[in-house]
Amino acid sequence: MDPDSPEEALPGLSDRPLGGWGLLQVAAGSGLAVYAVWAGILMPGFRRVPLRLQVPYLPASRAQVANVMSLLKGRPGGLTDLGSGDGRIVLEAYRQGFRPAVGYELNPWLVRLARFHAWRAGHYGKVSYLREDLWKVNLEQCKNISVFLAPSVLPLLQKKLLLELPTDAMVVAGRYPFPDWTVYRVEGEGVDRAWAYLIQAQRQAPPKEPTTESCIS
């Protein structure tokens, strides 16, 4: 019998207890595999983005896209999706007449996927998917913005949008509302809900009083 054959080796392995060192190796191996998937597929290009600003990909549902479009209905100008994922919001905005329709996305796989979807829909070259860090793009020309991001980044994003957007701009947030802004309109229920905000109204609103916690800290 060949001692190196799998039939011989496997029973030997299953009889042997793993032990502390073995468990450590399994844990390290699994951790590395998870990290490889995270860094290579889910979050490539995010190395220069601070950890607290990293938002993973989670595509908007059909209902969420429909709610965003309903809030944007009748608005002139283009649409910019910050963190455009596979490009579904940008593509739908283009279909509904928004020009230009632009998505900023850091993950190069998602940028490619979005371009593929645009090509399949017959709109390749008409919509723009740009591999850019949303924190570094200038939004001075954007009249309509959509964001499907995490609650942790929304306070900082409020500041950027208030600084850069034109007075007549509207921002639509999906899944999570902006923490300090006054809502103009709401569409949908539960996780599908989307909130619209007028920039002019936020600029006219009196600054929020600091909370007790922020005075202490």
| Residues engaged in binding ligand SAM (CB under 6 A) | 49, 55, 57-60, 81, 83-85, 88-89, 104-107, 110, 133-135, 148-149
Nearest to 208 by CA among 164, 167, 161, 159: 159
Q: How far apart are CA 207 and CA 80, in angstroms?
A: 27
Amino acid at 111: V
> Which CB sits closer to ligand SAM, 109 or 184?
109
Q: How far apart are CA 80 and CA 165, in angstroms?
A: 12
> Which CB sits closer to ligand SAM, 84 or 202?
84
Element holding 9 (H helix, E strand): helix 6-15
CA–centroid distance for 153 within its chain: 10
| Cβ at position 211, least distance to ligand SAM in Å | 27
| Cβ at position 216, least distance to ligand SAM in Å | 31
Strand pairing report for 194-198 and 185-187: antiparallel
CB 148, CB 193: distance < 8 Å: no
Nearest to 75 by CA among 185, 213, 205, 204: 185
> Which CB sits closer to ligand SAM, 82 or 199?
82
| Cβ at position 134, least distance to ligand SAM in Å | 4
Q: How far apart are CA 104 and CA 85, in angstroms?
A: 8
Q: Minimal CB distance to ligand SAM: which residue?
A: 83
| Cβ at position 90, least distance to ligand SAM in Å | 8
> Which CB sits closer to ligand SAM, 8 or 140?
140
> Which CB sits closer to ligand SAM, 92 or 169?
92
| Cβ at position 179, least distance to ligand SAM in Å | 17
> Which CB sits closer to ligand SAM, 143 or 175?
175
Going from the C-alpha of 7 to that of each of 4, 13, 16, 58, 65, the distances in angstroms are 8, 11, 15, 44, 54
| Cβ at position 118, least distance to ligand SAM in Å | 14
CA–centroid distance for 61 within its chain: 13
